[in-house]
Every structure is written in structure tokens, then in C-alpha cells.
């Protein structure tokens, strides 16, 4: 890619979070709550450094902006280094920027948790892992980051390890992520076998050398991406991962980690551009995930699970975008999504915190007055995720959907439009049910420090949410107008293609998108926010949960199918090995060895009898053998 | 000469057999003494005068005395050897068999291979048996103290090691204690003895 | 007598030495009295010495004498140490039987 600029703060961006993690890990018990300062600073400093790089990059008008730093060469083809090009810059910016806000928010959210230093150590470690992933200039470094991210998410999902559900969820996430890691490893094997290098620059310069293996390389890379980005059918870990603390859900399962798959596909665009079938596969999976996530979002009552399915759905959009070849659109959706999804999660966190860890929206309601900041910020974010014109999500979602049409995938375009309508519906359902009407739960409104805990000042949690809410509105304006920073940044990153003319112009698709979305909002309003609906809210919600179609409640039976396909056979295999193979065959072999050596020893033991004269006899016998040998040899000679 | 050799051979084998078949060790020692005596005569016949003398002095004089001494030492307080353990053991049969087989092989080898003599080895033939010639003390001593000086010295060393080993093994055993501690013990004993003497 | 001639043929000495040597072997293997075993070992040493001297005479090379001398020395050392071991081992026993000393039995 020919990026050879230098950026002295690259190491700061990369390593300061690690330092923060190490300090918090090592001195957590001594630091106690001051760990929050170190932890936040360890993300804030890289954020400032990244911001400076962003400024430099958007100002420059050169051919390719970015910085490259060689670290070391292991052996021919294995060069490790750091790369900061527009793509990784965007990711680093979101990771550190949104990450910093979430860290600041966590100060308030985790204030009363005794393991707060451990929490911040994990969070810093996660940011470090994610930065390793996006800053690597080669596939192996990316895989290292990929694995570390999985590890960090395991730590964080299982942070409350005294909850068996959380531990199970952590394990599930880890196992599915490892499936992806192994797939990526196979892709790297293939690339190295055919091209002989692992750096992005070399691999992308010799895509042709992959010839017959191109599709399989793409497929394995995408399996990795799908596992990390919760694409069908490897998505089942994401909703379960909501067992972690809410900031974790915001950081990992909304803003950064799950978008690693988008990053991977966008990073490897030369591979995808070369393989049409791979594009079709990824685009289709992305579209299906978007639709499935949206449909499942309808059926959920847990506020964080709704958001989890919306994440899955929105990442489906991104994957669809980068899959069909609209890379810039997919990345743009990642950029805006990070803000409004983090805002939604953190707002939901405020609500949950307010209601003493209640997560069921059926027992919420009327939160508008009790959490005004969350209300306003989440309103902006809900509009943004629905794609309401003028809000951040509008610009990017529009780009993605139109990109599908532009690149000749009308079916995916249709899926995108429909999903946008469903998204508007279920997000406003969440919004109306949570914030409107009257409170339906049983937590005392004046529940002040229930367990005599101290609380951090409320603004620590409110401020990040407000900032994210503002960005949910304005983030999209970075990519419109004439010559916006966004286009300047990506002018030389992705290929510009000559696309065939499309049947309807972008203005028309925007209009269609708006109509469908408005219909979704209207249905949600009619069902949940009319005065009649609000008045009978408890009864109506109960009725709705009773009549929910089983296929949605059972999450399209994905878990059941996976259970049936993998878990049950594994258990059967385990029983087979455990009850027969191991005790009889393996142990039998071992026991046989023992018996054999015992028998052998009994024979040999006969000679080791401690009797001097029998030893002498053995010596004589040996000497006799020699004598006989030489005598015979003499005879022959 | 031939008659002498065969007579000696018979006597040697007979005395050796007596050594290993005698009931009492003392009888064995006597047999061994006779054996060594006949052997010395054989050595004389082979012109090895010095070694014949050594055989008599060292073996008969020193080593056999040692055996006798040990027999005397062990006989006190120990069940007599005669009641001791000299039934023919189980391994006698295979041992005899092996010995017979080996003897057979040796005999076979001897009958087959003509044994080469001095001329073919290029050693100068000279006078034999008188002083200053082959086998004499002077001849032997010259070889020992010039060409073979190092082995000779090593022999001395081996003997010294053997002496130390014997002292360690059979010596009056004081369990090893650090010297200083032992010195303290001795000191204490002496002081007690003095005190006792004073009391008396 | 002619200097290169032995009293009898060399093969006779080899045979005689072999017989004495195997008598010694039989003594070690058959007898259970450690002293007699040691004496049998002495027999074996002497059989070897006899061979050394016979060959030295046959080849008129006094290296055989040197060797025999060394053998006698080593035999003396061996007898001394062997007897010391016998004394140590059997001083505390009521019986002199090597088969009783089987502590190394595996």
C-alpha cells in the first residue's frame, strides 16, 4: 500500500493502554478507586494522540496518508510492524474515543464494585488488544490481537464470576470466538503457502497468486469475521454476553470488538474485490443477519438483549456494506454506529442503575422524568439508529443500502429497506415502553444507596452519555457536503469503481427508506405510545409476551440447532470415549504395559538375586559365549 | 624335561582340585601352598628365576599367611566350617557343564592352531637361564626400571590404596565425627578422668 | 638346551593353564565359603601368570615377566581387600556363607 510515513506517537497509542492494564492489574488492591483515574488516563492519552493523527490525516491532500513502523522480522515473510492508515485510524479513533467515554462512565457505574481496579485492568487490556488488532500491518499480528480481544471479552463478560450465567456466557463467547480464530489461522496458512508473506501490503499486491484458493481464503477469513462480529450462524454468543457489566456491553459488544469483523473485511478488500462469489456470500450473510437481528429484537423484553440484537442487526448492515463492495459505506456505518450504540447502552445502563439492576422493560416505564439525560440522549440515538434524516445513522445507513443497489444486489437492497423499518419499530418500542407511561416496577423511586454504598456523582455517568448523544446527531456531518473530511481521508484507501447506472437514484432510495422507517415508528407509536396504550400498558405488554411467536422467542432455533449439531454429538462422543474408549482401550493399553513390565521384571529379577556365586556364573557364561564366538570364528577363518 | 613337565602338571591339577574340594579352609590353604610350590618349579623350568622366587616369597609367604590369619580370626566364635555351607549347590551341574564345554573348546583350539615360536617373532635368541641373561634378576630389573617404570610406580600406588582400603574396611571402627567435636569429647573425657583421680 | 626351545610344546602350557583356570572358576561358582572362593581366584590369577611366563619364554620377550609381576601385585592387593571384606561382613555372623549375604537381591 506504500505507506511509509512516520508517526512518533504510534507507540503511545499502542502501548499506553497496556501499561495502564499492567499497573491496574499489579497494584489494584493498593490503588482501589484511584485505578479509575489511571485506567481512564491510559485510554485518554492514546485518544489525544489519535486525534492529532486524525487532524493531520484529514488536512493532508497527499496520495496516501498514514504511518508505518517496522517492529521486527522473525523470518522471511514474517515481518511485524504497526500500520496507521485511514482505515486503522478510524478504528483507533473510535476505540480510544468511545472507549475513553465508556471508561469515564464506568467510573460511576462500577463505583461500588469492590473489584473496580480489576475491571479497569481488563478494560485497558481490552483496548490494548483491540489496538493491536487494528494497528498490525500483517495478518499474524492481527490474529494475535484477535485472540487477545477474545480473551479480554472472556474476562469482561465473566467479570461477575459469581454469576453462573455470566460464566457460561463468557465461555460460550470464548469458544465461538476461537472457532473464528482457527478459521483465520487457516486463511493465513493458505495465504502464506501461496504468497509467502503475511504482511497486508505483500498479500494484497499478489492476490492473483492465490488463484484457486482465493475463495477459500475469503471464506475462512469471513468465518473469523462472522464469529467475532456475531453474524449468522455464529451470533448466538452476543446476546448471552450481555451478562457482563453494562459498560462492557457498550465497549465490547457495540462499539469496538464486534466490529472487528467489519474491519477485517474492509481491510482485505483486495481479496473480496477479486472474488465475486465471496462478495455475494458475505453480502448475503450480512443482509440475513441484519434482518434476523431486527426480527429477534422485536421479541425481546430485556433492554440489553434488545440492544444486543440491534447491534447484531446493525453489524449485519456493515458486513453487507463491505461485502457488496461498498467499503466506505460499511466503514461509515461503523463510525456512526459506534456513537449511537454506545449512547444507547450507556443510557440503558443509567436506567438499569437507577432501577437497581432491573433489566426487563415490562417493569420499567416512565423513566423520562427519572433519567432525563438518558431520555434525551437515547432519543437522539434511537432516531440515529432508525436512520431518521439528519441524524448520524441516516447518512451511513443510506450509503450502505444504496451501495447494495449500486453494486447490483437489489435483493440485499430490499432486505436493507425492510430491516430499516423493523429497526425503527423495535427501537421505538424499547424507547416508548421504557421512558413513557407510568412506572410499572416495584423499586422505590427514592431508593437511595440501598446497601449503604457510596455513589459517584451522577454527572460522571451522565456526561459521557450526553456527549455520545450529541455525536449521535453530528457524526454524520463528517461525511456530507463537498469534500468533507471523510472523503478526503478515504480518497485513496478504497478502490473507486465504475459502477453501472442504477434504476432509481439515491434521492429516491432515501425517500423509500424514510417512508419505511416512518412506518415503523408509526406502528411502534400506535402500539405503545398512544394514550390508550399507555393507560393499559401492563395488560397489553403481558398479552404481547403471551402471544409472541415461538419462533422468535426461541431465537429462530439457532441455539437448538447448534446444540443438536455440535453439542449433542460432542457429548455423545465424550460419553463414548469416557465410558468405553478411555477405560478399556487407553487405560487397557497402559495397564497392559504395566503388566508386561511387571512380568518382564519378574523374569529379570531372577538374575538379580543377590547371590555372589550366581553372578560369577553369569560372568562365566558370558565369557563362555565369547570363547565360543571366537572359536567358531577361528573355524571359519 | 618332558617327564618333569607332565609330573608337575599332574601335581598342579591335583593340588588345585584339592584346594576347591577340601572341607576345611585350612586344608585348602595347604593345597594352595603345594600348588604354588609346584608352580614355582614350573617357572624355573621356564627360565623365570626371579618370578619363581617372588612366587614363593610373596604368594606362599605373604598372601597365604594372610589367609591363614583370617581363618584363625573368623574361626573364633563362629560355627566350624565343617558344619558350614559346603553341600554341593544346585548350580554345580551347569557350572561343570560350562567348564567342560570351555575346556573342550580350548582343547580344540590348541589342537588346531600351531603356536608360533620365538624365531618367527624376530626376538634375538640369546643365552637363557644364567645371570645377566633372559629371566634373570638383572634382566628383569632392567626391564622393570627402564621401560616399565611407570607401571611399576602405579603398582606401588595400587598397593597403597589397597592398604588404606583394608584399614578403612577392617579397622577398629570409630564412626566418623568432625575432628573438632572429637577433640572436645576427648578433652571432656580427660577432664572427667582427672576429676575422678582427684576424688580418689 | 637350545634357547628357542621350551621344555615341552607351548600348547601343553596353554592346556595346563586352562585346566587350572577352570578349576578356579569351578571353585568360585561351586563353593560357598568366601575364603575358598578367594583362593580359587588366586588359582585363576596363577593360571594367567603361567601363560604369561610360558609365552615370554617361547618368544624370549621379558614383557611377560613384567606382566606377571604386576599380576602378582594386583593379586596381593585383591587378596588383602577381599579378606578385609570377608572379615567385615562375617565378623558379626554366626555362619560363613556367601549365599546368606544377599542384601542386593532385586
Per-residue model confidence as pLDDT tens digits over C40-72:
999 999 999 998 998 888 877 888 889 999 999
Cα gap A42→A96, rounded to integer Å: 9
Interface contact C33-B81, CB threshold 8 A: yes
Cα gap A516→A510, rounded to integer Å: 10
Chains that touch A (3 or more CB pairs under 8 A): B, C
Task: Tell me which residue has cell 407510568.
Answer: A438
CA A120 centroid distance within chain: 19
CB neighbours of residue A606 within 10 Å: 10
Q: Which of B94, B95, B108 sits opposite A631 (nearest CB)?
A: B108
Q: In DSSP terms, which residues pair with A80 in a beta bridge? A: A72
* Strands A67-75 and A78-84, sheet pairing: antiparallel
Per-residue model confidence as pLDDT tens digits over B75-105:
665 544 444 445 555 666 666 677 677 777 6
C37: which chain A residues are within 8 Å (Cβ-Cβ)?
612-613
CA distance A599 to chain C (A): 14
Interface contact C104-A616, CB threshold 8 A: no
How far CA C42 is from CA of A274, A287, C12, C79, in Å, comes to 94, 100, 21, 8
C25: which chain A residues are within 8 Å (Cβ-Cβ)?
616, 620
Which pairs count as long-range contacts for B154-162, CB under 8 Å and 24+ apart, including other chains? Answer: B155/C69, B155/C70, B155/C73, B155/C74, B158/C73, B158/C74, B158/C77, B159/C73, B159/C76, B159/C77, B161/C77, B162/C76, B162/C77, B162/C78, B162/C80, B162/C81
Mark which residues 2-41 of C lie under 8 Å from B by CB.
Answer: 3-4, 6-12, 14-16, 18-20, 22-27, 29-33, 35-36, 38-40
Architecture category of domain B1-81 in CATH:
Up-down Bundle (1.20)
pLDDT of residue A4: 56
Q: Which of B47, B107, B144 sits opposite C57 (nearest CB)?
A: B47
Q: Residue B58: is its pLDDT beyond 60?
A: yes
Nearest to C66 by CA among A346, A65, B150: B150
pLDDT of residue A636: 54
Phi, psi of A77 (to 5 degrees): 95, -20
The answer to whether C49 and C71 have CB atoms below 8 angstroms apart is yes
Phi, psi of A389 (to 5 degrees): -55, 135
Question: What is the signed CA dihedral for A27, A32, A36, A39, rounded to 10 degrees?
Answer: 10
CA distance A620 to chain C (A): 8
Q: Residue B45: is its pLDDT beyond 80?
A: yes
C99: which chain B residues are within 8 Å (Cβ-Cβ)?
85, 89
Q: Is B94 on the interface with A (CB under 8 A)?
A: yes
Q: Is B50 on the interface with C (CB under 8 A)?
A: yes
Q: Is C37 on the interface with A (CB under 8 A)?
A: yes
Cα gap A378→B168, rounded to integer Å: 96
Rounded average pLDDT over C76-85: 89
Nearest to C3 by CA among B127, B94, A146, A169: B127
More confident residue, B142 or A366: B142
DSSP string, A259-309: GHHHHHHHHTHHHHHH-HHHHHHHHHHHHHHHHHHHHHHHH--BHHHHHHH
The answer to whether A362 and A440 have CB atoms below 8 angstroms apart is yes
pLDDT of residue B121: 45
Cα gap C48→A311, rounded to integer Å: 97
Interface contact A613-C99, CB threshold 8 A: yes
CA distance C82 to chain A (A): 13
Cα gap A193→A8, rounded to integer Å: 34
Q: In what helix (H) or strand (E) does residue A39 lie, and over which residues does it extend? A: helix A35-59
Q: In DSSP terms, which residues pair with A81 in a beta bridge? A: A70
ipTM: 0.88
Nearest to C53 by CA among C43, C42, C67: C67
Axis-axis angle for helices A214-228, A139-157 (nearest 10): 20
A501 burial class (0-12, 13-18, 19+ CB within 10 angstroms)?
exposed
Cα–Cα–Cα angle for A261, A267, A268, rounded to 5 degrees: 95
Interface contact B95-A621, CB threshold 8 A: no
Cell numbers linked to A321: 456494506
pLDDT of residue C71: 92
DSSP string, A404-456: HHHTT-HHHHHHHHHHHHHHHHHHHHHHHHHHSS---S-S-TT--STTS----
Rounded average pLDDT over B27-40: 91
Q: Is A553 on the interface with B (CB under 8 A)?
A: no
Cell numbers linked to C74: 594386583
DSSP string, C75-91: HHHHHHHHHHHHHHHHH
CA distance A612 to chain C (A): 7
pLDDT of residue B176: 55
DSSP A199: B
Architecture category of domain C10-92 in CATH:
Orthogonal Bundle (1.10)
Cα gap A149→A132, rounded to integer Å: 9
Per-residue model confidence as pLDDT tens digits over A255-300:
788 888 888 888 888 888 888 888 888 888 888 888 888 888 888 8
Which site among B91, B92, B100, B111 would you substitute to test the A interface, given the most A Cβ atoms closer than 10 Å to its Cβ? B91
Cell numbers linked to B69: 590369619
Task: Tell me which residue has cell 584399614.
Answer: B167
Interface contact C36-B20, CB threshold 8 A: yes
Per-residue model confidence as pLDDT tens digits over A343-394:
888 888 888 877 777 778 777 777 777 778 888 888 888 888 888 887 888 8
Nearest to C26 by CA among B9, B102, B37, B80: B102
Nearest to A537 by CA among A436, A428, A443: A436
Q: Is A197 helix (H, G, I), strand (E, B) or coil?
A: coil
How far CA A323 is from CA of A143, A279, A283, A317, B86, in Å, comes to 20, 5, 4, 10, 99
CA distance B99 to chain A (A): 9
The answer to whether B12 and B39 have CB atoms below 8 angstroms apart is yes
Cα gap A358→A120, rounded to integer Å: 24
DSSP A68: E
Q: Is A579 on the interface with C (CB under 8 A)?
A: no
Average pLDDT of chain A is 81
A617: which chain C residues are within 8 Å (Cβ-Cβ)?
29
Q: What is the pTM of this model?
A: 0.63
Cell numbers linked to C36: 575358598
pLDDT beneath 50, residues of chain A: 1-2, 449-454
Cell numbers linked to A628: 565360543
Mark which residues 431-490 of A lie under 8 Å from C by CB.
Answer: none
Interface contact A613-B91, CB threshold 8 A: yes
Nearest to A273 by CA among A4, A509, A493: A493
Mark which residues 607-636 of A lie under 8 Å from B by CB.
Answer: 613-614, 617, 620-621, 623-624, 627-628, 631, 634-635
C101: which chain A residues are within 8 Å (Cβ-Cβ)?
610, 612
DSSP A360: B
The answer to whether C17 and C61 have CB atoms below 8 angstroms apart is no
Cell numbers linked to A411: 435483493
Nearest to A174 by CA among A148, A208, A195: A148
pLDDT of residue A451: 43
Cα gap C25→B101, rounded to integer Å: 13
Interface contact A631-B109, CB threshold 8 A: yes
Axis-axis angle for helices A260-267, A303-324 (nearest 10): 0
CA A468 centroid distance within chain: 20
How far CA A427 is from CA of A213, A292, A353, A422, A423, in Å, comes to 42, 15, 20, 8, 6
Nearest to C35 by CA among A97, A294, B24: B24
B106: which chain A residues are within 8 Å (Cβ-Cβ)?
627
Cα gap B21→A182, rounded to integer Å: 82
Axis-axis angle for helices A372-386, A458-474 (nearest 10): 20
Which site among B35, B47, B68, B90 would you substitute to test the C interface, given the most C Cβ atoms closer than 10 Å to its Cβ? B47
CA distance B120 to chain A (A): 21
Q: Can you count the helices (H) and strands (E) in chain A?
A: 29, 2
The answer to whether A138 and A196 have CB atoms below 8 angstroms apart is no
Cα gap C17→C44, rounded to integer Å: 9
Q: In DSSP terms, which residues pair with A82 in a beta bridge? A: A69, A136
Amino acid at each position: 500500500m506504500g505507506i511509509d510515513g512516520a508517526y512518533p506517537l504510534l507507540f503511545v497509542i499502542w502501548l499506553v493502554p497496556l501499561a495502564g492494564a499492567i499497573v491496574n492489574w499489579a497494584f489494584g488492591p493498593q490503588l482501589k478507586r484511584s485505578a479509575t483515574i489511571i485506567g481512564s488516563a491510559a485510554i485518554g492519552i492514546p485518544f489525544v494522540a489519535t486525534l492529532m493523527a486524525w487532524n493531520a490525516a484529514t488536512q493532508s491532500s497527499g496520495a496516501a496518508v498514514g504511518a508505518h513502523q517496522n517492529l521486527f522480522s522473525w523470518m522471511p515473510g514474517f515481518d511485524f510492524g504497526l500500520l496507521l492508515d485511514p482505515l486503522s485510524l478510524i478504528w483507533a479513533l473510535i476505540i480510544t474515543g468511545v472507549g475513553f467515554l465508556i471508561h469515564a462512565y464506568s467510573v460511576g457505574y462500577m463505583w461500588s464494585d469492590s473489584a473496580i481496579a480489576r475491571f479497569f485492568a481488563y478494560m485497558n487490556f481490552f483496548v490494548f488488544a483491540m489496538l493491536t488488532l487494528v494497528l498490525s500491518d500483517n495478518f499474524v499480528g492481527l490474529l494475535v490481537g484477535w485472540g487477545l480481544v477474545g480473551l479480554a471479552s472472556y474476562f469482561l463478560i465473566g467479570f461477575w464470576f459469581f454469576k453462573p450465567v455470566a460464566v457460561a456466557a463468557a465461555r460460550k463467547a470464548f469458544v465461538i470466538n476461537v472457532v473464528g480464530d482457527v478459521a483465520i489461522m487457516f486463511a493465513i496458512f493458505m495465504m502464506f503457502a501461496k504468497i509467502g508473506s503475511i504482511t497486508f501490503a505483500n498479500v494484497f499486491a499478489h492476490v492473483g497468486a492465490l488463484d484457486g484458493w482465493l475463495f477459500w481464503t475469503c471464506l475462512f477469513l469471513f468465518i473469523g469475521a462472522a464469529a467475532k462480529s456475531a453474524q449468522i450462524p455464529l451470533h448466538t454468543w452476543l446476546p448471552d454476553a450481555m451478562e457482563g457489566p453494562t459498560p462492557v456491553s457498550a465497549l465490547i459488544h457495540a462499539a469496538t470488538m464486534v466490529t472487528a469483523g467489519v474491519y477485517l473485511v474492509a481491510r482485505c478488500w483486495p481479496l473480496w474485490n477479486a472474488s465475486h462469489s465471496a462478495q455475494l456470500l458475505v453480502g448475503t450473510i450480512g443482509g440475513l443477519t441484519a434482518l434476523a437481528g431486527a426480527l429477534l429484537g422485536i421479541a425481546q423484553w430485556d433492554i440489553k438483549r434488545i440492544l444486543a440484537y440491534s447491534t447484531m442487526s446493525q453489524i449485519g448492515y456493515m458486513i453487507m456494506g463491505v461485502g457488496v463492495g461498498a467499503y466506505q459505506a460499511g466503514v461509515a456505518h461503523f463510525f456512526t454506529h459506534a456513537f449511537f450504540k454506545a449512547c444507547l447502552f450507556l443510557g440503558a445502563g443509567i436506567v438499569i442503575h437507577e432501577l437497581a439492576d432491573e433489566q426487563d422493560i415490562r417493569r420499567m416505564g416512565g423513566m423520562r422524568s427519572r433519567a432525563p439525560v438518558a431520555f434525551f440522549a437515547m432519543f437522539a440515538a434511537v432516531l440515529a439508529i432508525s436512520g431518521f434524516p439528519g441524524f448520524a445513522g441516516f447518512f451511513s445507513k443510506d450509503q450502505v443500502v444504496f451501495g447494495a443497489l449500486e453494486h447490483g444486489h437489489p435483493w440485499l437492497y430490499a432486505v436493507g429497506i425492510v430491516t430499516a423499518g423493523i429497526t425503527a419499530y423495535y427501537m421505538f418500542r424499547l424507547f416508548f415502553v421504557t421512558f413513557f407511561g407510568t412506572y410499572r416496577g416495584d423499586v422505590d423511586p427514592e431508593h437511595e444507596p440501598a446497601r449503604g454504598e457510596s455513589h459517584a456523582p451522577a454527572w460522571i455517568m451522565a456526561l459521557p452519555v450526553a456527549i455520545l448523544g450529541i455525536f449521535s446527531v453530528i457524526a454524520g456531518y463528517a461525511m456530507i457536503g463537498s469534500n468533507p473530511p471523510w472523503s478526503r481521508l478515504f480518497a485513496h484507501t478504497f478502490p473507486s469503481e465504475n459502477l453501472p447506472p442504477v434504476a432509481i437514484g439515491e434521492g429516491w432510495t432515501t425517500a423509500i427508506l424514510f417512508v419505511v422507517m416512518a412506518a415503523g415508528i408509526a406502528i411502534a407509536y400506535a402500539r405503545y405510545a398512544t394514550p390508550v396504550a399507555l393507560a393499559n400498558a401492563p395488560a397489553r405488554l403481558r398479552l404481547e409476551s403471551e402471544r409472541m411467536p415461538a419462533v422468535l422467542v426461541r431465537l429462530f432455533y439457532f441455539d437448538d440447532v447448534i446444540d443438536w449439531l455440535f453439542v449433542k454429538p460432542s457429548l455423545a462422543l465424550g460419553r463414548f470415549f469416557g465410558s468405553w474408549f478411555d477405560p478399556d482401550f487407553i487405560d487397557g493399553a497402559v495397564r497392559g504395559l504395566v503388566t508386561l513390565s511387571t512380568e518382564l521384571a519378574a523374569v529379570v529379577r531372577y538374575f538379580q538375586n543377590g547371590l555372589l556365586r550366581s553372578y560369577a556364573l553369569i560372568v562365566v557364561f558370558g565369557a563362555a559365549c565369547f570363547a565360543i564366538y571366537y572359536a567358531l570364528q577361528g573355524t571359519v577363518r | 624335561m618332558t617327564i618333569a613337565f607332565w609330573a608337575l602338571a599332574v601335581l598342579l591339577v591335583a593340588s588345585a582340585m584339592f584346594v576347591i574340594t577340601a572341607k576345611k579352609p585350612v586344608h585348602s590353604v595347604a593345597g594352595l601352598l603345594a600348588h604354588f610350590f609346584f608352580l614355582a618349579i614350573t617357572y624355573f623350568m621356564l627360565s623365570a628365576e626371579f618370578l619363581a622366587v617372588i612366587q614363593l616369597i610373596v604368594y606362599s609367604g605373604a598372601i597365604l599367611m594372610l589367609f591363614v590369619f583370617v581363618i584363625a580370626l573368623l574361626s573364633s566364635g563362629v560355627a566350624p566350617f565343617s558344619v558350614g555351607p559346603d553341600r554341593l549347590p544346585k548350580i554345580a551341574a551347569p557350572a561343570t557343564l560350562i567348564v567342560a564345554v570351555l575346556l573342550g573348546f580350548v582343547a580344540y583350539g590348541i589342537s588346531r592352531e600351531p603356536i608360533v615360536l620365538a624365531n618367527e617373532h624376530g626376538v634375538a635368541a640369546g643365552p637363557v637361564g644364567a645371570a645377566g641373561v633372559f629371566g634373570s634378576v638383572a634382566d628383569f630389573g632392567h626391564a622393570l626400571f627402564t621401560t616399565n617404570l611407570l607401571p611399576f610406580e602405579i603398582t606401588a600406588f595400587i598397593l597403597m590404596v589397597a592398604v588404606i582400603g583394608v584399614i578403612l574396611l577392617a579397622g577398629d571402627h570409630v564412626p566418623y565425627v568432625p575432628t573438632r567435636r572429637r577433640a572436645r569429647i576427648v578433652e571432656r573425657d580427660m577432664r572427667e578422668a582427672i576429676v575422678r583421680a582427684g576424688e580418689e | 638346551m637350545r634357547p628357542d626351545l621350551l621344555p615341552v610344546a607351548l600348547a601343553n602350557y596353554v592346556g595346563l593353564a586352562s585346566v587350572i583356570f577352570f578349576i578356579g572358576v569351578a571353585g568360585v561358582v561351586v563353593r560357598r565359603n568366601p575364603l575358598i572362593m578367594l583362593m580359587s581366584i588366586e588359582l585363576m590369577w596363577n593360571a594367567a601368570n603361567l601363560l604369561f611366563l610360558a609365552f615370554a619364554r617361547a618368544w624370549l620377550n621379558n614383557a611377560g615377566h613384567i606382566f606377571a609381576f604386576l599380576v602378582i601385585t594386583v593379586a596381593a592387593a585383591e587378596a588383602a581387600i577381599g579378606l578385609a571384606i570377608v572379615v567385615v561382613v562375617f565378623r558379626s555372623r554366626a555362619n560363613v556363607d556367601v549365599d546368606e549375604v544377599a542384601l542386593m537381591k532385586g
